[in-house]
Structure 1
């Protein structure tokens, strides 16, 4: 009897913890301000913020009066910082300031235009200074972590030098430095999380390879080896002139077929609309807009096809409908995940998002009056999918789930 009661209590506790772990927090917009609610629309954090960016782990960057705060689950853990956004790195949060957004984009994301600070999940600042780039080697764990209690930090300083450190999470300080002041590094994750290797330059500018082996959440061993310099064949050629490949033979007497349009199947639409949006990741002053571009259709895989006045998407090789022909308009929207097909379908004034996987329907959302785009798959928990909504003027409105719950009030 006591054992049964104990198991019942344990089961109730387990279910309660499971429910807490699966709680989903979403951005809720009221008028022009954003806050945080639970998945049913109950407000958790008041809608006092001008802007909001949604992470992947129930985390948010919110902005008010040009100051950024970081919200994790239902708590503000970093408040009113001079940051562009925050990056969730498992046991850490990195506050990132993009110092010049245009130069940053033109440089293809160079960290020379960044300033970053490290925090723990309680919002306490760590390291005592900012860096151009902070990389937590084990920061995005998809499996058992390589280290527990400590973390490897690869730091890129404002003096354009790299250093590698072991950070103790409990003591909140660096307890070991593997190297520093390296001009370049080359990381290798091929055997991670069993081991991690990195090529760096020592004080004499000689390249060495450092390999760290992990076991039971600790560094089991480390090995440093000099890098053998391989002589560049082309740089050592002092005689002769450079060689070039021969040009292709002349095509005289060979008549090339004209480059025309591919043959169009019966009832096929020659154009297809691609729906996307500008996501203001590093330029918060720019408003978010829906974009739809029309391109010439290709007919090798699939195409939009009319039947009885309605439109569907037809698969060529499988000779079947992927999207049944019962909609007034269909837009392709494939940006949400690879190996899947996404379509926005319109019936009258209503829109739905159609998701196909393995050439079959995976799910279709409830109807929306506004245009939906897939934003986060399995957001907060498996099966909870988050969408963005756009009005008739293509302006961003707010968020919704696949069942039609809209997180917006005027």
Structure 2
């Protein structure tokens, strides 16, 4: 009885001890579902692909009668099923569903929203606003919700006009429109989240500035005033209005001497998953660059390769591997490597010249995907097959989230 009461007390006092859990796309045959860390299926494998989001959410991708359908998954529940949207974004208490209407033009335009259709949903999967827009911006910091029960939305419609509205989450409707039909806006977050200001054009086309101040989860005050015109000069060339000097003849740098045993090139490996063609597989990319012999380079001894720190005259990674690849995405103070030996691969992460962790060996090529994924201490690994295509996920201890 005392043990039972102690367990109940611990659950109440430290809920994170029982609820902290990572959820991972799990491959069964050629389909994907979602499992917990131990591999217990939470959502059955019915998708051709699952993309991990940024806030405990996923996008499931299916091929239905030769058409690509997407589903939005949050907290292991499918909220939007078999849609025609290209991808989804979770913004505070909203889901923005985005369809890319013309992928080629969208890519050439560097992401111009004129080629998008967006709709707003709440976290229950209910559609809001009653119409689509080309762009929907939730004017809230990703970490601090400065309004209680409502949100500011900046909407860009099919007529290429902006509106700023206050949306009540409980009533599920717009309760105030600050301006609409503005052909241009300029936002100012300098004093955010204490205040927010935005320049817009009123109905007469006059430039105005709206200033909103916040306090205790509400809008404390609002005022509209004439916008200050941009006083910056647009003169090209030098600061005195003179044309820049002609380019000089480039100096030919001498080719640096190559230390004994040094390899002339390094390879950085990353992956590519194109968001506007969601059905395409994620692909490994190997990027070759010249070594910096003043700083660090790969060095071969007795047919084995190590990673040598020239400025410290020592090995960070001893020469006992068949191949070493640099990886990215570990943070400012971390360095990541994939080490190859006897056709097996391991990920090594270092910090300040010291080993932080190294994974179990894998037969497939591993790529680090997320530090503290789902919970502190859980490292998520992507595995790629011999064709450099994504195969499945794994943890750092070598467990594969895959069954035939």
Please indicate, yes or no, whether the TM-score normalized by the shorter chain is above 0.5: yes
Q: How does 1:125-204 map to 2 (within 5 A)?
A: 125-138=127-140, 140-141=142-143, 144-204=144-204
**Partners of 2:48 and 2:18 in 1: how far apart?**
29
State the 1:327 CA deviation. 1.7
The correspondence for 2:26, drawn from 25, 28, 45, is: 28
Q: How many residues matched? A: 394
1:190–1:357 distance in 2 versus 1, CA, 3 Å:
farther
Q: Which residue of 2 aligns with 1:11?
A: 10
Distance 2:89 2:98 in 1: 7
CA distance in structure 1 between the aligned counterparts of 2:206 and 2:384, rounded to whole angstroms:
55
- Offset of 1:363 from its aligned partner? 1.6
Residues in 2 aligned to 1:257 and 1:188: alpha-carbon distance in whole angstroms: 43
Q: What does residue 243 of structure 2 align with? A: 244
SS at match of 1:83: coil
CA contact (8 A) 1:84 1:96 kept: yes
Alpha-carbon displacement from aligned partner over 1:59-109 (angstroms, at most 9, x marks no partner)? 111122222111112211111211111111121111111111111111101
Tell me the equivalent position of 1:394.
388
Separation in 1, partners of 2:331, 2:398 = 21
Residue 238 of structure 2 corresponds to which residue in structure 1?
none
Shift of the 230–148 alpha-carbon distance from structure 1 to 2, 3 Å rule, reads closer
Equivalent runs, 1:325-336 vs 2, <5 Å: 325-336=319-330
Contact in 1 for aligned 2:121/2:127 (Cα 8 Å) = yes
Q: Deviations over 1:303-340 (max 9, x none)?
A: 11223443221223233333233222101112454443
CA distance in 2, matches of 1:246, 1:338: 38
Provide the rounded CA distance (Å) in 2 between the counterparts of 1:44 and 1:146: 34
SS state at 2:401 partner: strand
Distance 2:302 2:347 in 1: 22
1:238 maps to which residue?
none
Aligned CA-pair RMSD = 2.5
Structure 1-normalised TM-score?
Answer: 0.89
Give the secondary-structure state (helix, strand or coil) at the position aligned to 1:406.
Answer: coil
C-alpha distance in structure 2 between counterparts of 1:228 and 1:281, whole Å = 39
Is 1:302 the equivalent of 2:273?
no
Q: Normalising by structure 2, what TM-score? A: 0.90
Equivalent in the alignment of 1:356: 350
Contact 1:194–1:213 (CA<8 Å) still a contact in 2? yes
**Deviation of residue 12 (structure 1)?**
2.5
Aligned runs of 1:6-405 on 2, under 5 Å? 9-15=8-14, 17-19=15-17, 21-64=19-62, 65=64, 66-138=68-140, 140-141=142-143, 144-229=144-229, 243-247=242-246, 258-405=252-399
CA displacement at 1:137 relative to structure 2:
1.4
Q: Displacement, 1:247?
A: 4.3
Q: Distance in 1 between matches of 2:190 and 2:6?
A: 44
User: Following TM superposition, by how much is the alpha carbon of 1:190 offset from its aligned partner in structure 2, in angstroms?
Assistant: 2.3
Q: Which moved more, 1:357-366 or 1:165-174?
A: 357-366
Unaligned runs of 5+ in 1: 236-241
Is the Cα contact below 8 Å between 1:334 and 1:340 reproduced in 2?
no
Counterpart secondary structure, 1:263: coil
| Cα 1:189–1:230 shift into 2, 3 Å | closer
> 1:239 is matched with which residue?
none
**191-200 or 173-182: bigger deviation:** 191-200
